[in-house]
Structure 1
């Protein structure tokens, strides 16, 4: 069935948005697993030193950074009866599921061998996530050119990404990671991670296939640039000229710092909940469930804030709010004015802090991604090329930096404060807990500050984007092609 004709404003149907967004469940499950569970699993359960785990993930991230732009450029120039994006989306489904299953079932090897095992498996899963995520993300600017509709479309993507990841995290803490006679702390029970891996892998496979099939009918309506034969040198030159776009570069910086901050929060969240606040697995799961509210708030507020303030001011405001709210409970505890662990007020305060700090952080990420989508047409006007895949390869890399750079930074903080191996809640020295809080807040403040500074340098406005679309349409009409049609 041919795709439905878009309205003049570029509005999309609800089913299209749902199918497009649902695919990010796969990325959300993988990313929450990497960010929230991987460090504590390989460090406290498997027994690898935290620095070793962080280094392994950073090595995998370096491989990933090379693959991302290549995948973006390949999908931009791919031609098939299934379009530029969908062949890669379908091909990634099974490898993503299998490699994620292997990640949580490491063999009984030496620490040195496990280090290389973790690197290899992390590289494999990141590579196949790249094969899916970049073409899938690049569909957003192809589906609509509307300034505000793009924010709505990406709100669906972020909502499902967070919803999928959070659902698996809560299931892990409430259902799979149960305490037993040998492991009184549920999140340190190795048996639960195997069940978690099996369920998570199946969900990732399903999400990828459902999204690919649900958006398949739009392929015929996507704008297909002319076929070109390029040498490797020409490809490299085009990639460089495209990726050095000023507004894109500042967004890349903002996204990286934003991702590093989120990764730091997620990677150390379980450490803070287990050792700083001394919460049970059930209490941790309750706090994690608050992020469902965060995702819903972000989904509801991102587009209205963008329409009211513009994307750039809204991204700056929400990032400031996310930092301030994250900063408050830990800083109050360090000043000895926060309720003692176990007091009735602790959980409600942390629950509200989790909801609002996470919601504002998600909104900021949605807006930055929507701003990247607007760079596509600005770049097309300057270069004559549509490079959705190349630009969103950077966005995918930034998103994956949440787990890569975040885990590395988290592991370095644990090393710096001399956090003990095999630690038990309530038995970690007070000075170590204090140092963990202080260093965490200092690093977090630096990352948030850098992200806000980068966003301030972005130049594309609503009016500027509309002018760019008009100029592109005029150029297309002059060449006798008629106005560009973007479903």
Structure 2
């Protein structure tokens, strides 16, 4: 039974990314905002902390992929790591938002150390989780269906992170205490969701069980041209998406003077992405994944460029544009993860090696670099345009925020299309 999968398997698998998204997308959308406006870290320092951690990820992600490919247990090669990594991942997420009382230099050091621990825990659990798709079924359409379930539930988790987090943080005291309590709940939920994935998904073996040496695995990745093209495009598009999402709290607070609508803005953006998912899946079957993806990215560029020209009295129009941008956001959740599974089949044909863990390790690293680059770019742009936290912004500061929401991610989305 290597083909069709039941609802239980798809739901159990998707719940893992639901849990991840509650944590991971809180980091993407709110961590730099938390660092600058609550924890008191300067924007450039906050962005640099997140970028420097990727040096370690450059080593740990491929290494973890190779470890997964060489793991042999009665539970398979991927499921045990999901189980073992679930609780540490939730715990390190909580520590990111703990916000202890420290001196200014110590706050930067704390943020750096804890963020590296968080990224390591994420590596341990999320690389085998992502690679599990290709060990569930060999059927390409079923893999697309599994990915659609995964990404739909990921978008629900992202929606909760984006729309509920600001409300919950304020309801639980606001500031550092509010973030701390929210992180405790979200971290616990995320860990439980991964455990459900471990219990509800059967891992199958479709390739050779021969252990492949690390260097052979590495070589098989770098001769996989379709994977390298996808990775380059995804780095550009995910950096753009993360810049867009992480700028939303700044945009509603300072440009639109409506901080209470931050949750609504993220809710509309992500909720519409969920609603567009069936259309995106149908288009991929009709016109191919790559063409459908490029079409969605082009639509997103057109929409976000319009955000540059909205005035401070246009929150409802901004919400309408966010709803339209959800089409492209949904595509960035669905298509890259669906396409990367296909590149594994190419690798097996090209080299005779099926480097599931290694490919997903590098692909996960691309997403992490996108998150870090986005935070670094936000920090640099905010500093260059003289942003000052928690005060009325100058015209220059407001312009910097507008650029981060429009032209800068639009240019990166265009680069993503060009690379496909």
Same fold flag (TM > 0.5): yes
Change (3 A) 1:357 1:243: same
**Pair 295,222 (structure 1): closer, same or farther in 2 beyond 3 Å:** farther
1:445 counterpart (410, 413, 416): 410
User: After the TM superposition, which of the residue ranges 169-178 and 88-97 deviates more from structure 2?
Assistant: 169-178
Larger-Rg structure? 1
* Change in CA separation of 1:289 and 1:199 when aligned onto 2, cut-off 3 Å: same
Offset, 1:439: 6.0
Is 1:132 the counterpart of 2:125? The answer is yes
Mapping 1:59-458, distance limit 5 Å: 59-178=52-171, 189-215=175-201, 218-219=202-203, 221-223=204-206, 225-228=208-211, 234-281=213-260, 283-330=261-308, 332-333=309-310, 338=311, 340-341=312-313, 346-420=314-388, 422-424=389-391, 427-438=392-403, 441-455=406-420
TM-score, normalised relative to structure 2: 0.94
Change (3 A) 1:226 1:173: closer
Residue 224 of structure 1, CA deviation = 5.2
Q: Which runs of 5+ in 1 are unaligned?
A: 181-185, 456-487
How far is the alpha carbon of 1:273 from its aligned partner?
1.2
Report the alpha carbon displacement of residue 91 of structure 1 after superposing the two structures with TM.
0.4
Q: 1:64 to 1:225 in 2, by over 3 A?
A: same
1:177 aligned counterpart, secondary structure: helix
8 Å contact kept, 1:89–1:136: yes
Could you tell me how far apart the structure 2 residues matched to 1:439 and 1:293 are?
A: 22
Change (3 A) 1:156 1:255: same
**TM-score between the two structures when normalised by the length of structure 1:** 0.82
Task: Please name the residue that 1:470 is paired with.
Answer: none
Cα offset, 1:352, TM superposition: 2.2
**Which of 11, 27, 43 is the aligned partner of 1:34?**
27
Alignment check: 8 A CA contact 1:413 1:440 kept: no
Cα distance per residue 1:97-148 (max 9 Å; x no partner): 1111111113211221121211111111111111111111111122223333
Count of residues in correspondence between the two structures: 420
CA shift for structure 1 position 13: 1.5
Residue 37 of structure 1, CA deviation: 1.1
Runs of 4+ with >4 A deviation? none
State the alpha-carbon separation in 1 of the partners of residues 103 and 178 from structure 2: 22
Distance 1:439 1:200, change over 3 A: closer
Q: State whether residues 298 and 359 of structure 1, in contact with CA within 8 Å, keep that contact through their aligned partners in structure 2.
A: yes
Asked if the contact 1:159–1:298 (Cα under 8 Å) also holds between the matched residues in 2, the reply is no
Q: CA RMSD in A?
A: 1.9
Deviation at 1:384, TM superposition (A): 1.1
Residues 25 and 207 in structure 1, CA contact (< 8 A), matched pair in contact too = yes
Higher share of residues assigned helix: 2
CA displacement at 1:432 relative to structure 2: 2.6
